[in-house]
Structure 1
Amino acid sequence: RKFKLTDHEWKVVEQPHAILKDATLSFSSSMSNLTTLIQAIDHIDKHLTTYAHDKSYLQSICSAMSLAKATPNHYYSATDSSEVYCITMVLHPCHYLPYFKTTFWEDKWIKTAEDL
């Protein structure tokens, strides 16, 4: 009984599990590639932002989601100086250049991707 979780503690455990489950499964796939990774980071960032401001989650979960954004953003920002990122997305048959517009890239970055 000493180590039995309270209902509140279970909620603290279950909320991030629900948030991170799909990302974990995606990254664990044997079909992962750079394009999938980039899209997953975009997806995770969007959802972490949403969860960080969602009042239905505990404040501790919202704070954790805000802090959790820092790690992928650190690595994702490194792609700004990587031609591999641009080439990967431009050459992917489902994305091409429209990907950069739908993800709200600056015009000069889109031009750079196009020039590559």
Structure 2
Amino acid sequence: MLEFAIEYRKALDEISGDRSLNLRKYELSSEEWEIASELCNVFKDATLFFSRSTPNLATVIPAMDHIDETLATNALDSRYRPSIHAALSIGKRTLNRYYNLTDNSEVYRIAMVLHPRHKLNYFKSAGWEDGWIEAAKEIVTEEFARSYASKDDVLEPFVGSKDVVR
């Protein structure tokens, strides 16, 4: 939709500039059109990032958190007109719809917890609720028990080690 708006900028400027339609508050300045173009590029980059043929699951949650934070911060910025606020809010709502879908698959949390850089510390530093962090830990522990607990040769190096999900 943002690409459409940018493509039809001239028509949208005319419509929002027509006083009889009472849409002046949605008229974008040149600076705001530039921001819209930048947002379009960000969303396009994000789409391409998440559409790669070999996505890295451990990067999905941090990327979504970054985009969500950027949208939320800018949506509250008083420098922007209501039209930019509306676009940012729509983008945030759309992102959150996809973000919520990650709850339907345990693999995202497992990938995060087992990632050497993230582990549970990512969730803590990102401000996740304690219940969510504990649930992520339980998911990994249960999957490990289900898949590997009966295999003594695989378990031996980890017996007594708390570094697996810390």
Task: Return the match for 1:66 from 89, 92, 102.
Answer: 89
* Higher Cα radius of gyration: 2
Equivalent residue for 1:12?
Answer: 32
Unpaired runs of at least 5, structure 2: 1-9, 15-27, 141-166
1:40-77 Cα deviation digits (max 9, x unpaired): 11111101111111112222111110111111101111
Structure 1 Cα separation of the partners of residues 66 and 109 of structure 2: 18
Structure 2 Cα separation of the partners of residues 66 and 9 of structure 1: 19
1:64-103 Cα deviation digits (max 9, x unpaired): 1011111110111122232111101111121001011111
Please tell me the root mean square deviation across aligned C-alpha atoms, in Å: 2.5
- The SS at the match of 2:78 is coil
Structure 1 Cα separation of the partners of residues 30 and 57 of structure 2: 35
Q: What's the TM-score once normalised by structure 2's chain length?
A: 0.57
Unpaired runs of at least 5, structure 1: none
1:44 partner amino acid: I
Q: What's the TM-score once normalised by structure 1's chain length?
A: 0.78
Equivalent residue for 2:41?
Answer: 21
Q: Choose between structure 1 and 2 for higher RCO, CA contacts under 8 A separated by at least 6 residues.
A: 1
